[in-house]
Amino acid sequence: DVKVTQSSRYLVKRTGEKVFLECVQDMDHENMFWYRQDPGLGLRLIYFSYDVKMKEKGDIPEGYSVSREKKERFSLILESASTNQTSMYLCASSLVSLASSYEQYFGPGTRLTVT
């Protein structure tokens, strides 16, 4: 079974703090994704990575950055947290193959509250 783990289930940070969200997958997947989930908005893609050190912006990258130094690990960074970044953050991974690359496996999520 593919396992995607996220470093924290719940996180409370103060406005202006630098926040790191970590994601690790154990199935040697090339693709990794960060989403945020808000009520009524579904999942929105923040960033994704298709290889080590490679990244592309998703639909809502403003205020976020990412790092992928190792294949299994993908980090989401909030350089200066703001209250409008309070949300559920979901990490996912997928294998690169013709169709399976679209089948994403999700971690349990990190609920971040910025006060």
Partner 1 sequence: AQSVTQPDIHITVSEGASLELRCNYSYGATPYLFWYVQSPGQGLQLLLKYFSGDTLVQGIKGFEAEFKRSQSSFNLRKPSVHWSDAAEYFCAVGATGTASKLTFGTGTRLQVTL
Which residues make up the interface to partner 1 (CB under 8 A)?
Answer: 4, 31, 33, 40-45, 48, 50, 56, 58, 90, 92, 94, 96, 99, 101-109
Q: Please, are residues 61 and 89 in contact by the beta-carbon 8 Å criterion?
A: no
Q: Which is nearer to partner 1, 3 or 18 (CB)?
A: 3
Smallest gap from Cβ 43 to partner 1, in A, equals: 4
* Interatomic CA distance for residues 75 and 95, integer angstroms: 18
Spatial strand order in the sheet of 64-70: 4-6, 19-25, 73-78, 64-70
Residue at token pair 């202006």? 16
Smallest gap from Cβ 9 to partner 1, in A, equals: 8
Q: Which is nearer to partner 1, 14 or 44 (CB)?
A: 44
Smallest gap from Cβ 111 to partner 1, in A, equals: 8
Secondary structure letter of residue 62 according to DSSP? T
Q: Which is nearer to partner 1, 35 or 78 (CB)?
A: 35
* H or E element at residue 35: strand 31-38
